């Protein structure tokens, strides 16, 4: 597996952060799209699209866990990584319980994000 | 024994008995001058009767003359004591007239001894024996003394004096007194005067029976003065009754009465007082014993206050501790008033003592609760602040980190600039991570302590908080309405944190009513669903601005001039920690209602 074959959808109401993460992934040669809200993601991305969703926990109207729930309802195939600026232990537990692939607290390095994904990919290919 | 002897002895005996009773009464109470005057009147009447009896039994004109002369001494005393007695009883009569009568009667008494054989006869020429009450008594023939008119003038003036005094009393409204005292005196004086004139001018053949008439006056006055004593006795009975009633009421209110005599240092105290201060029921209480049981730390203060009260500086009002024989502490509240003698020296103090231990305990519990709440408020505010800071700062830090990493990656393809800018970007990345770590550390330090959940009845929770804010409500003229559902299920909660929420909501409500004329705070509790309890706080203030309805729970959001904007955000954190919900809405009739709902406790 090579990294450039991955693709990410970034969902965060913080434009500056979303843009920077997209820039970082693109610099590594990884495709990434940025969405400013849960609704615009749902509108633009079909459920069968491969890749990963990086979703901010705190967003107005529909927050990260809400989007996670909707994606499961609509049978999206892409795993979801929850990111947040807040450090709440119970939020991590909740996200993992609800079936998130991972939980990262801002600021996180590009390495830690990709590590999470490669581990997951490796597990999947073994199976 | 003859009838005359029997009757005149009885008159004298009756008069002397009455005299001694009222003399004794006067000895007991020196201010009761009417008792002394009455005694004098009765003794004089007895003496009058004795001299009359002597006259009736006179064997010779000389004996008769002498008896009549001496009879004028008690007659003088009768008139003088009668005048002043009437003066005192009726609280009326002209004083100058009274003294004029005294002078005229004294003058006639002098004439009695200086002119002729007595005031009535220049000379008694012979005695006749006439039948009286079935026996023979002596009456006189002789030459009348013209100076007798002075004596008669005295009697006429007496009649005028008594009539005038009785009329004044009657006009004043004391009609019974005017009739009994004034009327009877007038009647008997007129009777005795008329009889004396008729006898002495020898119109009717009869001995003088002045003593008999004066006995009438003594009888009526005796009745009047005794009636007074009976009424006093009745009053003292009533007083005792009301004292008993007060003592009973005081006992049931746990109040003890005492009075403290300054000179003797002795206390009179109800059984309750002895019980309050830990004395045995038959112990004699003294000031020193009282000070002895007062807590050593309070002793000087209490002693000073008591002495100040006796100086008349102010009332004795103290709350102090006492140490009971079993070394336990009891709080007592004293309220007392000192009375001084007419000379201004301290006389005695009347006071009440009340056990206020329970109240004091409640107060100290309230202080503790207040401190606990204040501490929690600080901890929660710091925690809330750091949470918000972490979120706000982590966001740009994340962006900086991403950008720096991206720039480094992109630069790695351009070998020329790689070194310097690469180092710069590496520094940015490291500093960003360092800043992120600092934020994380602050969060870790400011982490609020774990909530402690227990089954919690809502009612006492609300009432404890209301106790704390009560003075605040009355200070702001706010009416409190309680609408608490009875028999609510216990909630699963942390007592102090939920009190913090209520405190915040009520403080906001009070603030919201700052500028509104009608101020009502309503606290409600209700069962929303079988396992959900809702508590709400409503105010009649300005309500929530539509635009802010969502924002009010956000940290840093405030409409208060000097607010930090953490109150409601802390409330939301606490309620969410409890797995509950908190929300605010405007009332249809104005003002806002903030409510929170909590899960009921399931064992």
Query: Do the chains contact at B398 and A108, CB–CB below 8 Å?
Result: yes
B114-166 confidence digits (pLDDT tens): 888 888 888 888 888 888 877 888 888 888 888 888 888 888 899 999 999 99
Say whether both B325 and B408 belong to one domain: no
Query: Do the chains contact at A109 and B433, CB–CB below 8 Å?
Result: yes
Query: Do the chains contact at A106 and B395, CB–CB below 8 Å?
Result: yes
* Residue-range domain boundaries for chain A: 3-109
Q: Do the domain assignments include residue B246? A: no
Specify the number of domains making up chain B.
4
Q: Do the domain assignments include residue B74? A: yes
Round to whole Å and give the CA distance between B514 and A30. Answer: 59
How much is the pLDDT for A66? 92
Residue that terminates a domain, selected from B422, B445, B468? B445
How much is the pLDDT for B403? 86
The DSSP bridge partners found for residue B40 are: none
* Window 430-449 of B, Cβ < 8 Å to A: 432-433, 436, 440, 443
CA atoms within 13 A on the CB side of B268: 5
Say whether both B34 and B110 belong to one domain: yes
Say whether both B413 and B391 belong to one domain: yes
3 state DSSP class of A8: strand
* B472 token code pair: 């605040």
Q: Do the domain assignments include residue B411? A: yes
Q: How far is A64 from chain B (nearest CA, A)?
A: 15
Q: How far is B385 from chain A (nearest CA, A)?
A: 12
The DSSP bridge partners found for residue B128 are: B139
Q: How far is A46 from chain B (nearest CA, A)?
A: 27
Phi first, then psi: give them for residue B78, nearest 5 degrees: -60, -50
E-strand stretches of B360-448: none
Say whether both B349 and B496 belong to one domain: no
Count Cβ–Cβ pairs < 8 Å, chain A vs chain B: 78
CATH classification (class only), A3-109: alpha beta
In whole numbers, what is the pLDDT of chain B averaged over residues? 85
Q: Is the pLDDT of residue A81 over 90?
A: yes
List of chain B residues whose C-beta atoms are within 8 Å of the C-beta of residue A86: 387, 390-391, 394
Of residues B140 and A37, which shows the higher confidence score? Answer: A37
Q: Do the domain assignments include residue B238? A: no
**Residues near B371 by Cβ (< 8 Å), separated by ≥ 6?**
none
Taking residues A87-101, report their average pLDDT.
Answer: 83
Say whether both B504 and B593 belong to one domain: yes
Most A-contacting residue of B387, B390, B395 (CB-CB within 10 A), to test interface: B395
Taking residues B512-516, report their average pLDDT.
Answer: 87
Q: Do the domain assignments include residue B240? A: no
Share of chain A above pLDDT 70, in %: 93
Q: Which residue of A has its CA nearest to B443?
A: A87
3 state DSSP class of A102: strand
Q: Do the domain assignments include residue B151? A: yes
Q: Is the pLDDT of residue A1 over 50?
A: no
> How sure is the predictor about B426, in pLDDT bands with cuts at 50, 70 and 90?
confident
Taking residues B406-424, report their average pLDDT.
Answer: 75
Q: What angle do CA B257, B262, B264 make, to 5 degrees?
A: 100
Query: Do the chains contact at B410 and A107, CB–CB below 8 Å?
Result: no
Say whether both B351 and B377 belong to one domain: no
Q: Is the pLDDT of residue B479 over 60?
A: yes
Say whether both B314 and B220 belong to one domain: no
CATH of the domain at B425: 1.10.287.130
Residue that terminates a domain, selected from B355, B375, B398? B355
* A49 token code pair: 């699209």
Query: Do the chains contact at B391 and A108, CB–CB below 8 Å?
Result: no
Query: Do the chains contact at A14 and B429, CB–CB below 8 Å?
Result: no
Most B-contacting residue of A10, A21, A24, A64 (CB-CB within 10 A), to test interface: A24
Residue B378 sits at the chain A interface (C-beta within 8 Å): no
CB B592 within 8 A of CB B586: yes
B164-216 confidence digits (pLDDT tens): 999 999 998 888 888 888 888 888 888 888 887 787 777 777 787 777 788 88
Query: Do the chains contact at B409 and A28, CB–CB below 8 Å?
Result: yes
Say whether both B227 and B298 belong to one domain: no
Taking residues B83-101, report their average pLDDT.
Answer: 89
Query: Do the chains contact at A20 and B399, CB–CB below 8 Å?
Result: yes
Phi first, then psi: give them for residue B564, nearest 5 degrees: -95, -20
Q: Do the domain assignments include residue B243? A: no
The three-state DSSP-derived secondary structure of B82-97 is HHHHHHHHHCCCCHHH
B285-338 confidence digits (pLDDT tens): 888 888 889 998 888 888 888 888 888 777 888 889 999 888 888 999 998 888
Share of chain B above pLDDT 70, in %: 97
Say whether both B172 and B287 belong to one domain: no
Query: Do the chains contact at B398 and A107, CB–CB below 8 Å?
Result: yes
Q: Do the domain assignments include residue B290? A: yes
Question: Cβ-count burial of B211 within 10 angstroms (0-12 exposed, 13-18 middle, 19+ buried)?
Answer: buried
Taking residues A77-94, report their average pLDDT.
Answer: 84
Q: What angle do CA B198, B200, B202 make, to 5 degrees?
A: 65
Round to whole Å and give the CA distance between A80 and A56. Answer: 10
Round to whole Å and give the CA distance between B500 and B506. Answer: 10
Q: What is the pTM of this model?
A: 0.47
> How sure is the predictor about B415, in pLDDT bands with cuts at 50, 70 and 90?
low
Phi first, then psi: give them for residue B483, nearest 5 degrees: -130, 75
CATH of the domain at B325: 3.30.450.20
List of chain B residues whose C-beta atoms are within 8 Å of the C-beta of residue A17: 395-396, 398-399, 402
Say whether both B166 and B267 belong to one domain: no
Q: Which domain holds residue B286?
A: 253-355
Query: Do you know the residue count of chain A?
Result: 127
Residue that terminates a domain, selected from B317, B336, B355? B355
List of chain B residues whose C-beta atoms are within 8 Å of the C-beta of residue A109: 401, 405, 429, 433
Phi first, then psi: give them for residue B253, nearest 5 degrees: -90, 5
Query: Do the chains contact at A20 and B440, CB–CB below 8 Å?
Result: no
List of chain A residues whose C-beta atoms are within 8 Å of the C-beta of residue B392: 85
Q: Is the pLDDT of residue A52 over 90?
A: yes
* A19 token code pair: 């843009």
Round to whole Å and give the CA distance between B527 and B487. Answer: 10
Query: Do the chains contact at A17 and B398, CB–CB below 8 Å?
Result: yes
Taking residues B252-262, report their average pLDDT.
Answer: 83
**Residues near B210 by Cβ (< 8 Å), separated by ≥ 6?**
B48, B52, B71, B75, B192, B195, B196
Say whether both B104 and B220 belong to one domain: yes
List of chain A residues whose C-beta atoms are within 8 Å of the C-beta of residue B403: 20, 23-24
Query: Do the chains contact at A85 and B398, CB–CB below 8 Å?
Result: yes
**Where is average pLDDT lowest: A17-26, A84-93, B532-541?**
A84-93
CATH of the domain at B60: 1.20.1070
Q: Is the pLDDT of residue B109 over 50?
A: yes
List of chain A residues whose C-beta atoms are within 8 Å of the C-beta of residue B555: none
Q: Which residue of B has its CA nearest to A30?
A: B406
């Amino acid at each position: 597996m090579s990294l450039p074959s991955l693709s990410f959808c970034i969902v965060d109401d913080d434009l500056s952060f979303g843009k920077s993460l997209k820039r970082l992934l693109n610099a590594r040669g990884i495709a990434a799209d940025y969405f400013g809200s849960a609704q615009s993601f749902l509108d633009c991305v079909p459920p069968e699209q491969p890749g990963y969703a990086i979703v901010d926990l705190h967003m107005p109207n529909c927050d990260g866990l809400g989007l996670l729930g909707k994606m499961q309802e609509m049978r999206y195939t892409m795993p979801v990584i929850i990111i947040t600026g807040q450090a709440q232990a119970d939020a991590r537990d909740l996200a993992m319980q609800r079936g998130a692939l991972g939980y990262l607290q801002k600021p996180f390095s590009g390495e830690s994000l990709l590590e999470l994904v490669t581990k997951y990919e490796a597990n999947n290919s073994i199976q | 024994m003859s009838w005359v002897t029997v009757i005149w002895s009885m008159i004298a005996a009756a008069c002397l008995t009455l005299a001694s009773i009222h003399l004794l009464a006067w000895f007991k109470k020196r201010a009761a001058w009417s008792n002394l005057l009455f005694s004098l009147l009765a003794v004089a009447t007895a003496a009058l009767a004795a001299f009359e009896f002597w006259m009736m039994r006179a064997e010779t004109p000389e004996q008769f003359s002498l008896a009549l002369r001496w009879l004028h001494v008690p007659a003088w005393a009768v008139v003088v004591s009668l005048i002043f007695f009437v003066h005192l009883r009726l609280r009326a009569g002209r004083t100058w007239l009274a003294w004029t009568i005294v002078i005229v009667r004294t003058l006639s008494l002098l004439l009695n001894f200086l002119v002729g054989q007595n005031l009535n006869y220049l000379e008694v020429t012979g005695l006749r024996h006439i039948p009286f009450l079935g026996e023979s008594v002596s009456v006189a023939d002789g030459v009348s003394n013209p100076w007798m008119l002075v004596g008669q003038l005295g009697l006429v003036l007496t009649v005028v004096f008594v009539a005038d005094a009785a009329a004044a009393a009657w006009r004043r409204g004391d009609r019974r007194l005017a009739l009994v005292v004034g009327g009877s005196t007038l009647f008997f004086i007129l009777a005795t005067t008329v009889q004396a004139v008729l006898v002495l001018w020898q119109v009717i053949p009869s001995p003088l029976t002045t003593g008999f008439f004066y006995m009438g006056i003594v009888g009526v006055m005796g009745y009047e003065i005794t009636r007074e004593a009976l009424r006093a006795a009745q009053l003292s009975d009533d007083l005792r009754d009301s004292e008993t009633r007060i003592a009973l009421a005081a006992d049931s209110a746990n109040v003890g009465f005492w009075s403290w005599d300054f000179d003797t240092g002795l206390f009179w105290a109800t059984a309750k007082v002895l019980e309050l201060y830990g004395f045995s029921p038959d112990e004699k209480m003294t000031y020193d014993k009282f000070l002895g049981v007062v807590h050593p730390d309070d002793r000087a203060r209490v002693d000073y206050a008591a002495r100040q009260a006796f100086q008349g500086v102010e009332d004795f009002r103290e709350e102090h501790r006492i140490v009971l024989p079993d070394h336990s502490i009891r709080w007592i509240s004293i309220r007392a008033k000192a009375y001084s003698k007419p000379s201004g020296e301290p006389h005695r103090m009347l006071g009440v003592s009340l056990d206020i231990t329970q109240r004091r305990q409640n107060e100290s519990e309230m202080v503790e609760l207040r401190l606990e709440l204040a501490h929690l408020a600080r901890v929660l505010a710091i925690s809330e602040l750091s949470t918000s800071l972490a979120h706000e700062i982590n966001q740009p830090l994340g962006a900086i980190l991403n950008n720096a990493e991206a720039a480094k990656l992109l630069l790695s393809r351009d070998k020329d600039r790689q070194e310097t800018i690469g180092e710069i970007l590496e520094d940015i990345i490291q500093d960003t991570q360092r800043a992120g770590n600092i934020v994380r550390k602050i969060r870790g330090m400011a982490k609020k302590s774990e909530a402690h959940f227990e089954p919690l009845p809502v009612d006492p929770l609300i009432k404890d908080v209301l106790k704390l804010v009560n003075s605040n409500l009355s200070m702001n003229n706010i009416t409190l309405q309680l609408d608490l559902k009875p028999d609510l299920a216990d909630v699963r909660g942390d007592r102090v944190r939920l009190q913090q929420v209520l405190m915040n909501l009520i403080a906001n409500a009070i603030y919201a009513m700052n500028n509104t004329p009608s101020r009502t705070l309503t606290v409600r509790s209700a069962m929303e669903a079988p396992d959900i309890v809702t508590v709400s706080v409503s105010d009649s203030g300005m309500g929530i601005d539509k635009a802010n309805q969502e924002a009010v729970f956000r940290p840093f959001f405030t409409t208060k001039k000097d607010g930090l904007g953490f109150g409601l955000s802390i409330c939301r954190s606490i309620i969410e920690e409890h797995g509950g919900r908190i929300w605010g809405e405007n009332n249809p009739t104005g003002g806002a209602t903030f409510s929170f709902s909590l899960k009921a406790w399931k064992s």
